[in-house]
Amino acid sequence: MEFILLCLLERHVSGTRGLYSRASRKVMEILKPPAQKFEKASIDEAYLDITESVDGDWDSAFALCRELQQEVFKKVGLTASFGIGPTRILAKMSSEINKPNGIFRILPDEIQDFFVDRPVRDVPGVGPKTATMLAEWGISNVDEAYELGELALARMTNERFASWIIKLADGNTTNEVSPLRSRKSVGKEHTFDIDQSDSEIVLTRLNQLVDTVMERAHEMGVCGRLAEVKIRYTGFETHTHGRSIPVAMDDGEVFSRLAQQLFANNLQCGEKVRLIGFRLGNLEMPISRQITLQL
């Protein structure tokens, strides 16, 4: 039995992007020692395989989270939420339960109970289009989808999604924490001839970059779990903003929405943009055809 831990940092650091990046690096150094495998999923998130450190004991895993939480706050001044589970996606979902500055765990024998009355929309990577499609069949919650069985669910959606949702509810999704995963990426940047104050012009170019990157990903036969938007302002001040999802995808619409959200949430008001870029990271080779989901 693996013990996968996700640390989700809460951003309340005033100042520049560089200041937050330095704080994030300090946090990552605190998190690494107890992990047999460590994966930085983004500037805000890290997955840890702590199986050996806790010697198969869930109470020890919870206590370790509390110790790390206290050390992060003491040394860096940041709060963080922790999720513990036997798989990556369960750890991810756990980390969202008691935010901010909380800890939540899902034990193996609690997995199916956890998904009772749990909206399908709460599952990371499942967006409104998929949720609406299932709702048309009277399915709103994960346990309802599970009870249908894989064959019936595949007729409503597709085989890959049906297989994945059944494995999710059974706790059989991936446990892998890979320190090499985040090194794989494909990206594209554009430098404007004249620094741009019109955010719509920049956003249009960003959408074009996403299309180009996703076309390249399709040509490579890969899908990704990390979206990053790079913004360079007049004076060469540069910021990179990222968001990860637990399910690797190659859906251009999903990453277009992620890129738009990252741009809208992080654009500095009144600043002109010199360069815009998009990067698809944490690339993986799909097992078979890709799940079609929407954020």
CA 278 centroid distance within chain: 16
Answer for the pair 279, 116: CB distance below 8 angstroms, yes or no: no
Q: Give the torsion through C-alpha atoms of 122, 125, 131, 132, to 10 deg.
A: 140
Averaged pLDDT, groups of 10, the chain, 295 residues long: 76 63 88 89 85 88 94 93 92 90 93 93 78 89 93 85 87 68 74 93 96 80 88 89 87 92 93 95 62 38
Class of domain 115-170: mainly alpha
**Hey, where are the domains in the chain?**
4-110, 115-170, 181-281
Catalytic residue chosen out of the listed positions 2, 10, 29, 45:
45
Q: Which CATH superfamily is domain 181-281 in?
A: DNA polymerase, Y-family, little finger domain (3.30.1490.100)
Residue whose tokens read 């409104």: 128
How many angstroms separate the CA atoms of 124 and 269, rounded? 30
**Which pLDDT value is given to residue 182?**
45
Let me know if 45 is a catalytic residue. yes
How many angstroms separate the CA atoms of 244 and 44, rounded? 9
- What's at 152, amino acid-wise? A
- What's at 66, amino acid-wise? R
**Which pLDDT value is given to residue 183?**
43
**Assigned CATH topology for domain 4-110:** Alpha-Beta Plaits (3.30.70)
